[in-house]
Amino acid sequence: MAEAAVSSAVSSKSLEIPLIDFSSFVSGDEVTRRTTAQAILRGFQSAGFIYLRNHGILRDHIQTTFVESAKFFRRPQAVKDKLCWTTPEANRGYSQPGREKTTDLTDAADIEAKRAEEGVDLKESMEIGREGEPNHPNQWPDQFDKDGKEFKKQMLSFHDTCKDLHIQVMSAIAVGLGLDEHFFDSFCDGGDNTLRLLHYPEVSHDVFLKNEYQVRAGAHTDYGSMTLLFQDNAGGLQVLSPSGDWVNATPIENTIVVNAADLLARWSNDTIKSTKHRVVEPPARADTHPARYSIAYFCNPNFDRYIDAIPGTYSEERPKRYQGVNRSVSLSQLLSMDAILIQAVAIILRGGWQQRIE
Ligand SMILES: O=C(O)CCC(=O)C(=O)O
Ligand SMILES: [Fe+2]
């Protein structure tokens, strides 16, 4: 029997995350397409999270990207450090374990205090932006060897594939809202997105026992329009429910977790939610937890587009809550605006700190 287009990925008393058969949107008849789009929109409006299956990205393509990611992280530390993440404007390159603490805080002293109390995230990451952006070259290992060339080829191709899925999911949101299916195309076709490879090294249960606040990635929301998240089967991702419980977003094979992010919440006049999430000790009891790998593809509207409330998300009864905003505003302009524009990720730099603003 055919599976339903919409079922449940996560079902707790405080949080429901739908599992959507995306092929029903892409190639279903008119009615199926519309009802699937509405279910996608409802998921973003209620949980801020959905899971997608039959999303169109080939299993092999994802698998090979995970393999290349693991190969990259196995490189000697000194080699990875040559590719290190430099500035928030570039937002490209490698961040070593202990460098980053993910948080929504924006005040330097608050971040410092939180870091001292909770410890840093137990992870390393590699960020890859749109290739060819002037003044912001990606940090490729292709200069080192043949494996580095393979890595570059794979990541560029995966970046491109995910860019297309972003456009399709935005199209589903448009249809769900009753707009033209291509409404968002010209907002998202630039591919100003960031592919982030994540490696959470093997860690002993003791580490979490000794520090009740220890996490693999701290609680935060994402910045842009949405994030396509590919996770392995290790577990540990949690989503904050409206009532304040952390709920496991358990891995489901052959699915992608998609969460709406801050700018889409703003763009939708807060009708769509950007929900907090984090990565903690996996629920399975173990003395030593194996490494966890995930791939987050952070999607953004094109940097040069003006983002003002989406038609249909505001009315006389529900006026616009935010001014329109241009992504190309300067950092100081950004900081003087409201905090929702800012994804502050504290970067621990030998006792100093820095905020990452995407
Ligand atoms: O690794 C994960 O599952 C989540 C990562 C994440 O939320 C992020 O990097 O923004
Ligand atoms: Fe995130």
State the Cα–Cα distance between residues 18 and 314, nearest whole angstrom. 25
Q: Is 257 in a helix, a strand, or coil? A: strand
- In the 3-class helix/strand/coil scheme, how is 78-97 assigned residue by residue? HHHHCCECCCCCCCCEEECC
Task: Please state, as a whole number, how many other Cβ atoms lie within 10 Å of the Cβ of residue 269.
Answer: 19
Mutation to probe ligand 1, out of 95, 99, 279 (largest number of atoms < 8 A from CB):
279
ipTM: 0.99
Look up residue 351 and give its two tokens: 């006792």
| Residues less than 5 Å from ion ligand 2, measured at CB | 222
pLDDT of residue 117: 76
Q: Which residues line ligand 1 (CB under 6 A)?
A: 196, 198, 217, 222, 229, 231, 237, 277, 279, 294, 296
Q: Which atom of ligand 1 sits closest to the CA of residue 257? A: 3
Ligand 1 midpoint to CA 229 (Å): 7
Counting from 1 in the atom list of ligand 1, the atom nearest the Cα of 227 is 10
Q: How far is the CA of 226 from the centre of ligand 2 (A)?
A: 10
Going residue by residue through the chain (358 aa), what tens digit of pLDDT does each one get? 456 799 999 999 999 999 999 999 999 999 999 999 999 999 999 999 999 999 999 999 999 999 999 999 999 999 999 999 988 888 999 999 876 666 666 777 777 777 777 778 899 999 999 999 999 999 999 988 999 999 999 999 999 999 999 999 999 999 999 999 999 999 999 999 999 999 999 999 999 999 999 999 999 999 999 999 999 999 999 999 999 999 999 999 999 999 999 999 999 999 999 999 999 999 999 999 999 999 999 999 998 999 999 999 999 999 999 999 886 544 444 443 333 333 333 333 322 223 333 3
Length of the chain: 358
Residue 38: CB atoms within 10 Å: 16
CA of 313 to the centre of ligand 1 (A): 28
- The CA distance from 17 to 31, in Å, is 22
| Pocket residue to mutate for ligand 1, from 277, 293, 298, most atoms within 8 A of Cβ | 277
